[in-house]
């Protein structure tokens, strides 16, 4: 009787040791390097924590070219393509283009993102943002004298790309006295990281 009880106790002890051994890290396991969820996903509300693998921009660019820089480079490339194109109300080609058509064309060609054709429709897209919060890819709107509104694309460093009625497609400064006087509002159609993700899918930058 005593021998049987001792045998059962011994068997139970061996089983507990085996379970403890399964739960403990083995000698071949290595602790994770760094904090897997310590990378920020910029541009989204609250800056949620995400793994580098979950963020295609960080994975593809190795943190060397964050989304605003990628977007800026793509917009400057579009400037080189369109610069000097004359302004023409209702125009949609390199023979002549108006401000909203330029914005629509660039967003479609660069980001595969469809915007409405007119300034009046574009000003209702996305979310209104403060001027101090402008990021490359945001739309900037103006109300100069006359019946028509004006739109351009912010490229960073206080400048925006647009089709000027007097000089055609060009880059201007927001702090220019004229543009500063007639500045209306800015809108963000997509967060920079989402624009960059579309850009990255096309192999830009």
Among candidate residues 22, 65, 79, 150, the one labeled active-site is 150
Q: Phi and psi of 90, rounded to 5°?
A: 90, -10
The residue among 178, 55, 191 whose CA lies nearest residue 136 is 191
99 a catalytic residue: yes
- Of 7, 22, 79, 162, which is the active-site residue? 162
**Number of neighbours of residue 35 by Cβ within 10 angstroms:** 9
What's the rounded Cα separation, in Å, for the pair 60 and 37? 18
Annotation says 150 is catalytic: yes
* Percent helix, percent strand, percent coil in the chain, to nearest 5: 40, 20, 40
Q: Which residues lie below 8 Å from residue 99, measured CB to CB, with a gap of 6+? A: 87, 119, 150, 151, 152, 162, 163
Phi, psi at 196, each rounded to 5°: -65, -35
Q: For the CA atoms of 102, 103, 105, 106, what is the dihedral angle to 10 degrees?
A: 110
The reply to whether 7 belongs to the active site is no
Please list the active-site residues.
99, 150, 162
């Amino acid at each position: 009787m005593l021998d049987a009880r001792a045998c059962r106790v011994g068997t139970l002890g061996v089983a507990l040791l085996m379970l403890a051994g399964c739960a403990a890290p083995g000698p071949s396991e290595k602790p994770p390097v760094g904090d897997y969820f310590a990378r920020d996903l910029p541009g989204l509300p609250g800056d949620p924590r995400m793994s580098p693998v979950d963020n295609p921009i960080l994975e593809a660019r190795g943190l060397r070219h964050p989304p605003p820089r990628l977007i800026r480079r793509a917009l400057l490339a579009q400037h080189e393509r369109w610069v000097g194109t004359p302004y023409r109300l209702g125009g949609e080609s390199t023979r002549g283009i108006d401000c909203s058509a330029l914005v629509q064309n660039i967003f479609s060609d660069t980001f595969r993102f469809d915007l409405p054709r007119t300034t009046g429709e574009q000003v209702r897209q996305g979310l209104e943002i403060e001027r101090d919060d402008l990021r490359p890819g945001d739309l900037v709107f103006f109300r100069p004298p006359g019946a028509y509104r004006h739109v351009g694309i912010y490229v960073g460093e206080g400048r925006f790309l647009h089709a000027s009625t007097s000089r055609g497609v060009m880059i201007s400064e927001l702090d220019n006295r004229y543009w500063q006087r007639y500045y209306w509002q800015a809108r963000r159609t997509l967060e920079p990281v989402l624009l960059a993700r579309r850009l990255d899918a096309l192999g830009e930058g």
